[in-house]
Amino acid sequence: MISYAAALDILASAATPLPAANLPCNPAAGLTAAADLASSVAVPPFANAAMDGFALRSIDTQGASAEAPLRLAVAGSIPAGSAAPAATAAGLAWEIMTGAPLPEGCDAVVAVERAEVQRDTAGRPQALLLREPLAAGRNRRDAGEDFRPGGRLLAAGRAIDAPAIMGLAATGTTTLLARPAPRVAVIATGSELSGAPTLGAGLIRDSNRPYLAAMLTQLQLPLTGSTAVADEPAAFTQALAAALDGADLVITTGGVSAGRLDFVPAAITAMGGETLFHKVAIRPGKPLLAARFGRRLVLALPGNPMAVAVGLRFFVLPALRALAGRAPEPRLRARALDAIHSRKGLTFFAKARAHVDAQASLCVSALPGQESFRIAPLLAANCWAILDAERGGVAAGELLDVAPLLPGEFPAGAH
């Protein structure tokens, strides 16, 4: 049996990043940037007004004061989407709208709320009165202030999410060198599993496959297949062969412990799979097995619901990040509100709830009902509390690692 840290190292070494290709920018595809991407253009493409107001030459305003107001004639109006006038003579100002290009020579904008304007009978601005100087650059956006040509737009390993799409769209980038989302297949084993509305004697409903499918959907990971098989090695072998044909990683549930019908390890070996490790010093989910068939990975999880949840969150998802070329997920630190008990020697993943207290500290409490068959506490959880194997339990007030239910999301409900 190996430690959780050692298991992660083995998975990271075994997960060869998927080949990169020039792919269309698509936030729904779960892409990952395969290389640093530079902007090919300036954003903004021209100097423009940061707000509605009046564009002027700041040098003209240096003598303005409350005792001696400066009067600037308004030369005209510049709406957004129009071309800027070629030049601005001394003593002139322009009415300008947010985002409109600044005329040549103008280097500042007086906000309309702070402008003292003289208007004609039709309401058009005729002159601007200034009672104080205006600094150069006031309310002005410079060309390339957001992105410079040749400057980095995205870093390698960045998920192509909604913020990334905004940057790509702003620079006119329609394709990029990216790795696709890893494809995942799921096989649930167990003759006791049933999908029928009414359960027969000794049967239970299959909750693991719907859970895995829902989590993968939330993470924009394509599910290429999901099937359930009875406790029959031949049926499992057939299902695994089919799953490996179209997936980069296959998740199996059940059949990996030490019972007479726990046939999954032997079946994987018989199919030519290389076992990377079997049994990890964790709770729940200790019998977990990892194997590979060339570039394709198999993570065989125990069948209890929380063993599946932990296996997905803390083994499958790190492996998928490595396949996508993303960096390991950073951990959050939180303060335990109450003592959390755990045996030394096992990394314990506890269903938990976190919140931010009045001192802006992240605090966490383990929930009652930590048994691996209990689903109800997971519905109340917004994170996992992670108790280190060498340290064991923690006392109230001590710090420990926490992980949100979904990677990258601050624990839902933390406030």
pLDDT of 174: 95
Task: For the chain, give every domain's residue range.
Answer: 4-18+182-324, 21-44+145-179, 48-141, 332-404
d(CA 170, CA 111): 25
Q: Given a cut of 90, is residue 153 above it in pLDDT?
A: yes
Torsion of Cα atoms, 27 then 31 then 35 then 39, to 10° = -10
CB atoms near residue 112 (< 10 Å) = 16
Residues of the chain with pLDDT > 90, as a percent, come to 82
pLDDT at 88: 85
pLDDT the model gives residue 18: 97
* Residue-averaged pLDDT of the chain: 93
Fold of the 48-141 domain: Molybdopterin biosynthesis moeA protein; domain 3 (2.170.190)
Rounded to 10°, the helix 4-14/317-324 angle is 30
Q: Give me the residue label for tokens 């792919």.
A: 23
Q: Which helix (H) or strand (E) holds 307?
A: helix 305-311
Confidence of residue 43 (pLDDT cuts 50, 70, 90): very high
Closest CA to 113 of 169, 176, 50, 162: 50
What is the arithmetic mean of pLDDT over 15-37? Answer: 94
Q: In CATH, which superfamily holds the domain spanning 332-404? A: MoeA, C-terminal, domain IV (2.40.340.10)
Name the strand (E) or helix (H) holding 291: strand 289-293
Strands 140-141 and 48-49, how do they pair?
Answer: antiparallel
The reply to whether the predicted model has a pTM over 0.75 is yes
Which of these CATH numbers, 1.10.3720.10, 3.40.980.10, 3.40.50.300, 3.10.20.30, describes 4-18+182-324? Answer: 3.40.980.10
Task: With a cut of 60, say whether residue 130 has pLDDT above it.
Answer: yes
Q: What average pLDDT does this structure show over 8-19?
A: 96
Spatial contact of 231 and 223, defined as CB atoms under 8 Å apart: no
**Torsion over CA: 331, 333, 337, 343 (sign):** positive
User: β-strand 347-356 against 362-366: which pairing, if any?
Assistant: antiparallel
How far is CA 170 from each of CA 30, 95, 107, 166, rounded to the nearest angstrom? 20, 26, 24, 6
Query: Residue 375 in contact with residue 383, Cβ under 8 Å?
Result: no
pLDDT of residue 121: 86
Q: For position 39, what pLDDT does the model report?
A: 97
For residue 414, is pLDDT > 80? no
* In the predicted structure, residue 411 carries a pLDDT above the cut 70: no
Tell me: pLDDT of 397 over 70: yes
Phi, psi of 141 (to 5 degrees): -105, 120
**What is the Cα–Cα distance from 56 to 53, expressed in whole angstroms?**
10
* Tally of helices (H runs) and strands (E runs) in the chain: 8, 27
Amino acid residing at 412: A
Phi/psi at 391 (nearest 5 deg)?
A: -90, -35
Residue pLDDT, tens place only, 78-118? 999 999 888 888 999 999 999 999 999 999 999 999 889 99
415 falls in which pLDDT band (50, 70, 90)? Answer: very low
Which residues have a Cβ under 8 Å from the Cβ of 361 and sit 6 or more positions away? 334, 335
Give me the pLDDT at residue 194, please.
Answer: 66
Distance, in Å, from the CA atom of 223 to the CA atom of 357, rounded to the nearest integer, reads 39
Nearest to 183 by CA among 301, 319, 314: 319
What pLDDT score was predicted for residue 407? Answer: 87
Q: In the CATH scheme, what is the code of domain 21-44+145-179?
A: 3.90.105
State pLDDT tens for residues 298-308. Answer: 999 999 999 99
* The pLDDT of residue 265 is above 60: yes
Using one digit for the tens of pLDDT, what is the confidence trace for 328-377? 999 999 999 999 999 999 999 999 999 999 989 999 999 999 888 899 99
Q: Which residues pair with 56 in a beta bridge?
A: 93, 108
